[in-house]
Structure 1
Amino acid sequence: MSSATFASTGDLGEKQVTFAKLGEGAYAYTAEGDPNTGVIVGDDGVMVIDTQATPLMAERVLEKIRTVTDKPIKYVLLTHYHAVRVLGAAAYQPQAVIASRGTHEMIVERGQEDYDSEAGRFPRLFQGIESIPGLTWPTIVFDDRLTVDLGNKRVEILHVGKGHTQGDTIAWLPDERVLFSGDLVEYNATPYTGDAHLGDWPATLQRLRAMRPEKLVPGRGDALMTAEDCATALDMTEAFVTDLFEAAKQGAARNLPLKDIYKGCRAAMDPKYGHWVIYDHCMPFDVTRAWDEARGITRPRVWTAERDREMWAALEG
């Protein structure tokens, strides 16, 4: 079983940052399994995809952007509502913040609870938390698709289905076949499914497969530079989500208590996935959500800092 400390409160080591070029005007800011940020540069300006958790941490992304362009940040795109992805937006001073309607709905319903919850789980990712001016609110909200022209750089912004959250959004460069997936896809990193729609996720991944990406920036993990590696990341993510949900459904069908289902999921999944980044952190949240969905709770329950601690004590205590 996993760590004695709550969630990732004991994870304090600095990560090595990589700023990788995927193609003309397409970049990935990655840090050894910490949340990734995507960058797209056109003739007229820049789009930043996911912001980091605080303006202080976003400043480090800006420093990398300024090594390749001095153009203004025109857009920040939120792939979903999680605090670790959105609360650094103020640092970029964008002209607009884009999100799907499903993401906007989540910010309204549970944005502050999520902020409080995530900051308590993973303090290292919230360096300079005092620099956060408040929740990040989108100024452009779309339903299914939106096309943005950055100047000789067409960006397709799509809500292709539920998965990691109800509002998951991708950015796609059709000419270069570069996909920015947010946390719909991970690479050698554990999918967090605490707010997921596990029954929908595999079909959403299939829609991404059908786009045939040749480069991919996952939510966590290295930027992927070949079609084969993109396919591998999609397969890895789907395997994890499917194994998790199947194990939870089997336990729920037998009316097992959550703690027993958790033990069963860990026994089945530790050998296959236990070496992935943030696995011990994610699994209590992942199994709890999978158990809920297996019992017919289709809309994920709101995580609060208090609920986090109670769940952790019940499963890991």
Structure 2
Amino acid sequence: MLRRSLYAGFFLVLAFTAHAEGFAGLKVAIQPKAIAPHTFFVQGLQGVASVANEGFNSNATFVVTDEGVVVIDVLGTPALGKALLSAIRHVTEKPVKRVILTHYHADHFYGLQAFKDAGAEIWAHRAAQEYLDGGEGARRLEQRSAELSKWVPAHMKLVRADRWLDGDATFTMGGIRFDIAYLGPAHSPEDLIVSVPSEGVVVSGDILSGGRIPFVGEADSKRWLATVDKLVALKPKILVPGHGGVTRDPGKDLTLTREYIAYLRTTMGKAVEDFTPFEEAYAKTDWRRFEKVPAFDAANRINAYGQYLVMERELLQKK
């Protein structure tokens, strides 16, 4: 039985807040919000993962079915994972049956151990194995542990999926259908989105960052633009991004993401074609269209340099 009530047309913040003082001294609040009859959303704080936000900068979603709970992404530290699981248990007594990872980036999967210990089955796309086996996962753990040593132990185990998907998948749990679509490589090689048609909800992972500048880096921006178009075509009533708030006007936020990535490609692509050094190109670029958008200061220079390198590679491939 759900420990909350919903009235038609209203989405209520749960009275419960997991301050999680028992979870490695966390002070951030894990506060689920009901966004559809069976779907709940936890919103991370602004900015990159830091001591100030205790690594809590990404979103998580969970759906309560008659049979059990399906969780999509599990936050960015083991302590946050425990706090999220505790918050879910204050919403429902039903077991967490499955976790779906949109992608294997630290801020979305470091909370996995708590769910693994609780008996949940973990699903992710097979392309993430390169991250885990190729050394990048270990390097990121070392870096994240140095930055967030209080919450990310250096010896932390990187939890692997129980089921590696090769592409799209569909399953039904407790009468609710879940459609998983592989849309990578875009933000990451393994990007998955999860649609819950009966709820009108699509969880996009970091393909969309709601109302803020996305972290693009050296992502395959050409494929990312095509992926955004696929998201638009789904026409979701509610779109849950990997960071930032839920949007009930997906077209607006998707347009921002599309225009920003396209601008990076255009400006950095021209600089590469003209043999303009990055520093000069960055200084000459007019960023006024985006500089007031949240996360611009933290992400834009990294994104521009990453896409400068991407456009160099694309130019070489044409020759």
TM-score by length of 1: 0.80
1:30 aligns with 2:15: no
Q: 1:244 to 1:175 in 2, by over 3 A?
A: same
Alignment-mate amino acid for residue 72 of structure 2: I
Q: Distance in 2 between matches of 1:244 and 1:31?
A: 26
Identical columns (%): 25
Q: Distance in 2 between matches of 1:190 and 1:118?
A: 22
5+ residue gaps, structure 1: 1-13, 299-317
1:106 aligns with 2:131: yes
Residue-by-residue CA offset, 1:24-61 (whole Å, 9 max, x unaligned): 22111003432111111211211221111111012222
Q: Distance in 1 between matches of 2:65 and 2:283?
A: 49
Residue-by-residue CA offset, 1:113-154 (whole Å, 9 max, x unaligned): 23334555xx46x75112973212111111221123221111
Equivalent runs, 1:167-178 vs 2, <5 Å: 167-178=190-201
Contact 1:190/1:278 (CA < 8 Å) preserved in 2?
yes
Alignment-mate amino acid for residue 111 of structure 1: G
1:289 aligns with 2:302: no
SS for the counterpart of 1:28 is strand
Residue-by-residue CA offset, 1:86-130 (whole Å, 9 max, x unaligned): 11100123432111122233332221123334555xx46x75112
The alignment covers a number of residue pairs equal to: 276
SS for the counterpart of 1:202 is helix
Q: 1:141 to 1:57 in 2, by over 3 A?
A: same
Report the counterpart of residue 121 of structure 2 in structure 1: 96
- Structure with greater helix share of residues: 1
Q: 1:22 to 1:295 in 2, by over 3 A?
A: same
Q: 1:51 to 1:157 in 2, by over 3 A?
A: same
TM-score by length of 2: 0.80
1:210 aligns with 2:230: no
Q: 1:131 to 1:64 in 2, by over 3 A?
A: farther
Alignment-mate amino acid for residue 82 of structure 1: H
Q: 1:32 to 1:133 in 2, by over 3 A?
A: closer
SS for the counterpart of 2:203 is strand
Match for residue 140 of structure 1 among 163, 173, 180 = 163
Identify which range, 208-217 or 109-118, moves more after superposition.
109-118
Q: CA deviation at 1:280?
A: 2.1
Equivalent runs, 1:1-317 vs 2, <5 Å: 18-33=31-46, 34-93=57-116, 94-109=119-134, 110-119=136-145, 123=147, 128-130=151-153, 133-224=156-247, 226=248, 229-265=249-285, 268-269=286-287, 271-296=288-313
Residue-by-residue CA offset, 1:175-216 (whole Å, 9 max, x unaligned): 222000000011122211124111111111111111110011
Q: 1:220 to 1:72 in 2, by over 3 A?
A: same
Report the counterpart of residue 10 of structure 2 in structure 1: none
Contact 2:141/2:154 (CA < 8 Å) preserved in 1?
no
Q: 1:213 to 1:223 in 2, by over 3 A?
A: same
Identify which range, 129-138 or 87-96, moves more after superposition.
129-138
Alignment-mate amino acid for residue 142 of structure 2: D
Alignment-mate amino acid for residue 100 of structure 1: H
Contact 1:50/1:77 (CA < 8 Å) preserved in 2?
yes
Q: Distance in 2 between matches of 1:205 and 1:165?
A: 14
Cα-Cα RMSD: 2.2
State the structure with bigger RCO (CA 8 A, min sep 6), 1 or 2: 1
Q: Which is higher, the Rg of structure 1 or of structure 2?
A: 2
Q: 1:195 to 1:58 in 2, by over 3 A?
A: farther
